[in-house]
Structure 1
Amino acid sequence: MIGTSAAEYYFIRLCIVGLHYLAPLALCYCALNILLHGLQVAIYRVPLVIECVAVAEALFFLCVYLPYKSYLQREAVHPTPPTREERQELFQLCNENIENPREYLQKWFLGADLKDIKRENVKEFFLWAFFNRGGPPGDDDEELEEYVSAMETLLGEPIEAGRGKAKCLRLTLDEVKMLHRSLIWYLCVGFVDFLAYIALLYHGFHFHRTSLSRFFTLFPFRWQSLFSTYRSPAKHTMYWHRPHTSPTKLPMLFIHGIGIGYYPYTNFLSELNSTAGIESSDPNDQVGIIAIEIMPVAFRITHHALGREELCAEIDQIIHEHFGPDQKFILASHSYGTVISTHLLKTPKIAKRIGPMVLVDPVSMLLHLPDVAYHFTRRQPKHANEHQLYYFASMDMGVSHTLSRHFFWNENVLWKKDLEGRKVTASLSGKDLIVDTLAVGRYLSDQPKSTTIPYRDNPEMASTQDADENSTVRLRTNENSTHVDTNDEEWQSRPWKGTGIEVLWFKDLDHAQVFDSKICRRRLIDVIRAYSESG
């Protein structure tokens, strides 16, 4: 993730304009060419390469993007809703972990004024959140009334009857929002993927492809897969594997986040078996690594995201292939990968083999809060890092479809109770532009709740003269007073001990930046190596 400087802002905006408007320019050029030259259109009047690019981009937009965009708008197939008892337990967990009820409700309603959020609006939101559906309340109205009454208690004020003009964020029911990607962009993705391929091969990893009959189901095409002699036991899931030779250490399963694939993680993965920057050649020191590839969120055009059970079954096949049926392993994941970690943790057959866990920028923690969904899918970008996230990630066809049609929050949320009895380290970044890391850090560290109001998301606070645009303050309120605390809290500087649930706090980093700095990567690697040695 890039920073927020003026130079980075202009750079990222220039990249977006160049990539996004290439297709409209190509369409205009081709249309004008046909209009002016008719049947002689095949006789090029500019360098041939320009004509080829223009025609290719125009055809790609008309014949691939537009039909595919329409195809991806199909309704989500929601999972079976929880039982009433499960819903009530889930609702209670949510209510117990809301720091600012007003902000919580307003953000789920896309910044609407509270007077525009009325009783029927809240029911509509709860119907999606806890019943996995839209439509009228029907027979569920009585239960919905209970939840609305509980929300009134949390707010400390009544919710007006009727329906207001506010619209809530219902990710799996709303339109799949996406923006066109040029062929040039996909060529860039393919090139970066090839660089990652070369780097991982160099560091002893083996690429395991799927069947060659699936070669054309992934674009940009992975030509390197034609030369790989290693075959994945799973139908859809490709991965990287480094053999485990240490008889005393635990191997590791790693799952990446939304992005361009494994290129941003190559240094991290290669350094896991190095000491003082020197890669160990001692077989007794070699920790095995399986790095799963999730192609629907890796900026590719490919099959839709697999369902929870299907993906877990495929990962189980891969684990069994390399680690055997009984070998415990470390489960490490980043961002969206923490959602898949949640699924693995809730799959008994796999959970019993999961040892210590490392969750980097975990989006699955406190997923009932609106921050992840709102910041990733609905926030209008202002800063350089927000533009990078919005255009290159949020509006990617595969990513958007995955989040809008295959991301069911009540399946993906990870609670502290799910981690009981385990060694878990969560790596959090103080300037994360997606996750409310202060809330997550306090939750994992058993800190009392307080109200979090980021300056950038609160107009009243934004007007404060001495407020840094990217800073965050915490407000503790009671009937008589309001005072401001800094965001330096005791849990952020606790020494890491390797027991229970712990937090690594990187105060000045943004989402995913922990992998960019060698010093920060080293902290993660030290944790993983300690877990590997202790079991």
Structure 2
Amino acid sequence: MSVLDISEHPPPQRSRTWSFYLVLLFAVLPLWLSVPVAWYFTFYFIYTAQWSTYSAPWSTLFLFSCCEVIFSVYHCYLAHRVSATIPPTSGDPEDIQIAYMRLLKAGLANLPSDRGDIETIVVDRPGSPAETIVQLDRHDPRAIEFRHSLRTWFCKVPFSSITRHHIEKWLYWAMYNTALPPVDQVPETHKKAMDEALILLQKRIGCKIPEGSNDHVRPILLTVDKTNIFWRPFAFYSFIHVINWCLSKLFKTLYDVQYGYSNGVEYLVRIPAHWDRDISPRPIVFLHGLGLGLFQYHQVIASLINNFPDRPILIPLQPQISQDVFHPRFLKPPSRHEMADQLAGLLKALAWVNVDEKTFSSKVYDSEEQEVEESLVEIPERGVTMLSHSNGSYTHAWMLKGHPELIGRSCFVDPVTFCSWEGDVCYNFFYRPCMTGMELLVRYFVGSELGVANLLQRHFCWTSNSLWFEEIPNARDPHRSLFLLGGKDDIVHAERVKLYLASHGVRKNLWYDPEGRHGQALIPGGPGLREVLRWLSEDEF
């Protein structure tokens, strides 16, 4: 019986909805046009040479227009600098090799979708890392599924149209975080590694990749491709900055939330007067996602503070993903090890964890076997409860990779860190044509913003940002881990993530809303946030 090859079927045709045009006309265009309008007014006032005689309202308008013009020039300079930035060098070759092998083995073990693993290398751990990559048949469902997933990195063209040259360009970027140079300029060590990677890939996809090239196909090379940055008016950035500043002051007044800076991390923290590390509930660390910072997440933070007055709550401030253009580190996002070590140091400085100093050094694994073994170290009963949303799951992943002994419980909401090797998050966020109002809102107000583009299109590292099941302590324990997904998420391929987690035995702690969209799980009063608060309340000691 023949098997349907979904890797050859183009994605369903989509047409633009009415919501797209509403958002375009009433949200995107007014904001985008404000900058050229400011230029027009500024030159008009200067050309008439009578601006000094204008009334107060007109003089104020002239002043604002001048500010917008000056800022737009500065913004163009920053955008050019970001676009011309050479991506950071790739990580450790052994780490990359381990991640690539994991990528190829994902889905290879034929794990059931509704229960635990059939075979494991260690007790209570997934079987995929123990699989051997053998030559699959072209019609093997595992090969078809992998080809279908892989073509996302080529904007979902039929897999048969992808040639060896396209694969080599994508592989070289994935391994070395740079564009593939001319053949005679590729180092011999890189050639050897590429050839070995290509042989394994062809075994996994069940067929030989054809020679040649196709001008209609282009691989997604996230940190090499041209950045898509659209300007924002000075008034927009100023408004966000003022609102976030006011909210931080409001939190201090209403909830005694303090601002702090320690070990390279800016943060807001609320610590109850009589909290005791040894007998009180664990502290909560909330890692927010891309967007507008406190302006976007203030209701979630308020819910945490109001519902859990008996425990500390820490919110690391992340200017690089909060459109805080006035912050000195706006275009200097911390690396994986830098952020993980800084946050770990902060937890120790707050005396929330009690671990030996050596645990704060970054771990470097010599082999896949050593990495798996180290990830199985018993985690202490204490530690903090880490709650992350969307892009915050990357920092959550960094902490679990580098300092798992500090994390007692983990809650992932709309996580982008799982199955990120499949390319759906990257494609949906930056490359998919916008067809709905929500997609346009996300693309313009988040995806094309200067700081976000700098972070994700110039400082993204898929090996660091990909979290594998075996790296999550107590992933199947409903008391220790919780995963929340929305079936209609426009960014995360929730069905794929659900299948990945469920196939490794995650059942009772996997909350899935078939109608849920990205961010909907944290809407105040909604079922998603109620589930998060219920799970957090289980931590009674």
How far the C-alpha of 1:42 sits from its partner, in A, is 4.5
Partner of 2:339: 311
2:472 & 2:516 partners in 1: Cα distance? Answer: 25
What are the superposed Cα offsets for residues 150-190 of structure 1, whole Å, 9 maximum, x if unpaired? 44444444321123222211111222321100012113212
**Counterpart check, 1:251 vs 2:264:** no
1:33 & 1:47 partners in 2: Cα distance? Answer: 9
2:424 to 368, 371, 377: 371
Change (3 A) 1:398 1:85: closer
**Counterpart check, 1:444 vs 2:501:** yes
Q: What is the one-letter code of the residue matched to 2:490?
A: L
Partner of 1:358: 411
Q: What is the one-letter code of the residue matched to 1:371?
A: D
2:102 to 70, 76, 90: 90
Percentage identity across paired residues of the two chains: 19
Change (3 A) 1:149 1:334: same
Partner of 2:191: 141
Does the 8 A contact of 1:130 with 1:410 survive in 2? no
How far the C-alpha of 1:351 sits from its partner, in A, is 1.9
Partner of 2:35: 23
1:352 counterpart SS class: helix
2:482 counterpart SS class: strand
1:418 & 1:197 partners in 2: Cα distance? Answer: 34
Change (3 A) 1:518 1:66: same
Alignment of 1:93-492 (within 5 A): 93-94=105-106, 96=108, 100-136=145-181, 137-139=186-188, 140-165=190-215, 166-208=217-259, 231-235=260-264, 237-244=265-272, 245=275, 247-272=279-304, 274=306, 286-301=310-325, 302=327, 303=329, 304-326=332-354, 328-347=383-402, 350-422=403-475, 423-446=480-503
Q: What is the one-letter code of the residue matched to 1:339?
A: Y
How far the C-alpha of 1:437 sits from its partner, in A, is 0.8
How far the C-alpha of 1:356 sits from its partner, in A, is 1.0
**Counterpart check, 1:525 vs 2:540:** no
Change (3 A) 1:111 1:89: closer
How far the C-alpha of 1:447 sits from its partner, in A, is 7.1
Q: What is the one-letter code of the residue matched to 2:466?
A: V
Alignment of 1:481-520 (within 5 A): 496=508, 502-520=509-527
2:208 & 2:313 partners in 1: Cα distance? Answer: 54
2:469 & 2:485 partners in 1: Cα distance? Answer: 16
Change (3 A) 1:447 1:418: closer
Does the 8 A contact of 2:268 with 2:315 survive in 1? yes
Does the 8 A contact of 2:263 with 2:346 survive in 1? yes
Does the 8 A contact of 2:240 with 2:295 survive in 1? no
Please, which runs of 5 or more residues in structure 1 have no aligned partner?
209-230, 281-285, 449-490, 497-501
Does the 8 A contact of 1:26 with 1:54 survive in 2? yes
Change (3 A) 1:49 1:79: same
2:258 counterpart SS class: strand
What are the superposed Cα offsets for residues 198-230 of structure 1, whole Å, 9 maximum, x if unpaired? 45235524232xxxxxxxxxxxxxxxxxxxxxx
1:11 & 1:120 partners in 2: Cα distance? Answer: 39
Please, which runs of 5 or more residues in structure 2 have no aligned partner?
1-15, 109-127, 129-141, 355-381
2:250 & 2:513 partners in 1: Cα distance? Answer: 27
Partner of 2:364: none
How far the C-alpha of 1:274 sits from its partner, in A, is 4.5
1:88 & 1:107 partners in 2: Cα distance? Answer: 17
Higher relative CO (CA 8 A, sep ≥ 6), structure 1 or 2? 2
Change (3 A) 1:205 1:396: farther
Does the 8 A contact of 1:123 with 1:144 survive in 2? yes
1:54 to 53, 61, 65: 65
1:174 & 1:352 partners in 2: Cα distance? Answer: 37
1:233 & 1:340 partners in 2: Cα distance? Answer: 17
Does the 8 A contact of 1:120 with 1:162 survive in 2? yes
Does the 8 A contact of 2:148 with 2:159 survive in 1? no
1:134 counterpart SS class: coil
Partner of 2:82: 72
1:340 counterpart SS class: helix
How far the C-alpha of 1:113 sits from its partner, in A, is 4.5
Does the 8 A contact of 1:363 with 1:372 survive in 2? yes
Partner of 2:26: 14
How far the C-alpha of 1:368 sits from its partner, in A, is 0.2
**TM-score normalized by structure 2?**
0.75
Change (3 A) 1:360 1:202: farther
How far the C-alpha of 1:149 sits from its partner, in A, is 3.8
Q: What is the one-letter code of the residue matched to 2:519?
A: A
How far the C-alpha of 1:259 sits from its partner, in A, is 0.9
Does the 8 A contact of 1:195 with 1:263 survive in 2? no
2:394 & 2:159 partners in 1: Cα distance? Answer: 31
Q: What is the one-letter code of the residue matched to 1:259?
A: G
1:85 & 1:71 partners in 2: Cα distance? Answer: 31
2:517 counterpart SS class: coil
Change (3 A) 1:105 1:86: closer
Does the 8 A contact of 2:352 with 2:383 survive in 1? no
2:72 counterpart SS class: helix
What are the superposed Cα offsets for residues 302-325 of structure 1, whole Å, 9 maximum, x if unpaired? 321011222223212321222344
Paired residues in the alignment total 444
What are the superposed Cα offsets for residues 499-521 of structure 1, whole Å, 9 maximum, x if unpaired? xxx21112222111111141321
2:204 & 2:104 partners in 1: Cα distance? Answer: 11
1:125 & 1:111 partners in 2: Cα distance? Answer: 14
Q: What is the one-letter code of the residue matched to 1:56?
A: C
Does the 8 A contact of 2:390 with 2:415 survive in 1? yes
2:511 counterpart SS class: strand
Does the 8 A contact of 1:81 with 1:131 survive in 2? no
2:17 & 2:210 partners in 1: Cα distance? Answer: 44
2:481 & 2:167 partners in 1: Cα distance? Answer: 35
Q: What is the one-letter code of the residue matched to 1:255?
A: L
Q: Which moved more, 1:129-138 or 1:331-340?
A: 129-138
1:158 & 1:353 partners in 2: Cα distance? Answer: 46
What are the superposed Cα offsets for residues 45-64 of structure 1, whole Å, 9 maximum, x if unpaired? 872232222222112112x1
2:473 & 2:204 partners in 1: Cα distance? Answer: 27
Q: Cα RMSD (Å) of the superposition?
A: 2.7
1:135 & 1:248 partners in 2: Cα distance? Answer: 54
**TM-score normalized by structure 1?**
0.76
1:251 & 1:72 partners in 2: Cα distance? Answer: 37
